Amino acid sequence: MSDVAEETPVNPYGAPGKLAPVLSDMWDKDKSWKLETYRNNGGYEALEKAWSYEGDEIINIMKDAGLVGRGGAGFPTGLKWSFLPPHDGGPRYLVVNADESEPGTCKDIPHLMANPHVLIEGMAICLKAVGGHHGFIYLRGEVVHVYRRLLAAVREAYEAGLIGKGRGPQGDYDIDITVHAGAGAYICGEETALLSALEGYRGQPRLKPPFPAAEGLYARPTVINNVETISSVPGVIKNGADWFKAMGTESANGHVIYSLSGHVKNPGQYEAPIGITARELFDLAGGIRPGHKLKFWTPGGSSTPIFTEDELDVVMDYNSVKEAGSMLATRAIQVFDETVSVVRVVTRWADFYQHESCGKCSPCREGTYWLRQILHRLEAGKGQPGDVDMLLNITKNIGANTFCALGAAAATPVNAGIARFRDEFEAGYTTPAWELFPYEKTPRFAEEGE
């Protein structure tokens, strides 16, 4: 046995800080969305580097880095890219899901407004990696300002010769990018419904298999990733997998954007290493608005089970949040203080999911309708004995009996709300929610002048 003690490997990048401004680092630059600003801050250096790699090498770098999807599912990105079948001479596509619309989820839209070129660079690298030549950005049609900014950024990239025909060191690689504005349907955030809409059909989910990697857009092999996922690719290629792995936890690496909204003093976007706690994020946001205390919060948007102050110290990574009983998803943290009726909040979420159900599946189409009817009855104080149990029965019947996850997303907040605050729901048998929790107490601006 050696007398020399083994040295502990030193992290050459140093310990990550509370915040990790990578994607958001340029957001406060003058005209941050312009190509000139992006290139002056190291933009497109990763693409230049990527041209020297073979496609499989880029995929292996992504696997080594441990980048997982930032759109909610947390699936390993490099592994997803590797699922595409061997080349057969036909086209292969990349589709970027920019159809951000779930209540509370608000990270991709400000990111695209502030720094669209990092997405374009990431798309070019991904296309090089998978042997594709055409990428699509599927954007919500309502955000016209973002649509115009993306179109302008793509045009700048074409004019600068960064994408287009005959790119790369040998001048033999074509990269085309199309920005497509959808008609505004939450269901099109589901990847197969998105593909149907992009092809000009009604946006409804498809049965899987076949999976998009085998038969996606126009029945060709397709990679589908979220805006933040593809935007994270240039940093990995430019700085290396070890740089990315220096941030995060054992279950997930890197930096992510946490969106805080609601009753915190300073709501906004906080880019931090995966693994920060909610308590630390709340502190960074200035805490709960003065004079109030936390009641409940969502770790990943309206489709994730709610937490209370008991979970403030849960590590905000995929495994830890799951073990605590919820999902990290899109890291859309909605914060509610003691002035808020859980029944009212869950009812508004139910309104959304019922409105956005595409109607293809009977359990979702009918189930979301009845969830909404009963919840409105309870909110108005006109509930009937047994309504709470009926809600639970309906959510059980929706369950996993649908083509996509929208039905489960509608059922989840109802189940979680009742599990945590059943007494408030049962109070709806006799008392309206607005009497227990007056409207005027809830808005953030109501007390600003006092």
> 350-397 pLDDT, tens per residue?
999 999 999 999 999 999 999 999 999 999 999 999 999 999 999 999
pLDDT tens-place string over residues 118-177: 999 999 999 999 999 999 999 998 999 999 999 999 999 999 999 999 998 889 999 999
Q: What pLDDT is attached to residue 7?
A: 45
The percent of residues in the chain predicted with pLDDT above 70, rounded, is 95
Query: pLDDT category, 12, cuts 50, 70, 90?
Result: low
Query: pLDDT category, 16, cuts 50, 70, 90?
Result: low
Q: Per-residue DSSP letters for 341-354? A: -HHHHHHHHHHHHH
Residue 422 maps to a domain: yes
Ranges 9-23, 31-45, 354-368: which has the least confidence: 9-23
Average pLDDT over residues 411-425: 97
Is there a single domain that holds both residue 84 and residue 181? yes
Is there a single domain that holds both residue 156 and residue 196? yes
Is there a single domain that holds both residue 223 and residue 313? no
Is there a single domain that holds both residue 315 and residue 355? no
Is there a single domain that holds both residue 221 and residue 271? no
Distance CA(234)–CA(123), nearest Å, equals: 9
| Residue 3 scores a pLDDT above 60 | no
| Cβ contact 58:50 at 8 Å | yes
Is there a single domain that holds both residue 302 and residue 352? no
Q: What pLDDT is attached to residue 130?
A: 97
Average pLDDT over residues 245-259: 91
Residue 318 sits in a domain whose CATH number is 3.10.20.600
Is there a single domain that holds both residue 365 and residue 318? no
- Domain residues for the domain of 112 are 23-245
Q: What pLDDT is attached to residue 178?
A: 98
Q: What pLDDT is attached to residue 6?
A: 42
| Residue 11 scores a pLDDT above 70 | no
Is there a single domain that holds both residue 230 and residue 123? yes
Q: What is the pTM of this model?
A: 0.92
Q: What pLDDT is attached to residue 14?
A: 52
The token pair that represents 138 in the structure block: 């599927």
Indicate the residue among 337, 369, 402 that finishes a domain: 337
Residue 425 sits in a domain whose CATH number is 1.20.1440.230
Burial 119-154 (b: 16+ CB within 10 A, else e): bbbbbbbbbbbbebbbbbbbbbeebeebbebbbebb
| Residue 277 scores a pLDDT above 50 | yes
* Closest alpha carbon to 346 in 392, 399, 288, 292: 392
Residue 67 sits in a domain whose CATH number is 3.40.50.11540
Q: What pLDDT is attached to residue 9?
A: 44
pLDDT tens-place string over residues 93-115: 999 999 999 999 999 999 999 99
The DSSP 8-state label assigned to residue 440 in this structure reads G
Is there a single domain that holds both residue 405 and residue 280? no
Is there a single domain that holds both residue 181 and residue 133? yes
Indicate the residue among 206, 222, 245 that finishes a domain: 245
Residue 13 maps to a domain: no
| Cβ contact 191:164 at 8 Å | no
Average pLDDT over residues 406-411: 93
Q: Domains in the chain: how many in total?
A: 3
Cis peptide before 210 (omega within 30 of 0): yes
Indicate the residue among 337, 372, 392 that finishes a domain: 337
Residues sharing a CB contact under 8 Å with residue 230, sequence separation 6 or more, in sequence order: 94, 96, 119, 122, 123, 126
Residue 140 maps to a domain: yes
Residue 445 maps to a domain: no
Average pLDDT over residues 216-241: 97
Cα→Cα distances 100→111, 140, 152, Å: 12, 7, 20
Is there a single domain that holds both residue 108 and residue 195? yes
| Residue 305 scores a pLDDT above 60 | yes
Is there a single domain that holds both residue 274 and residue 162? no
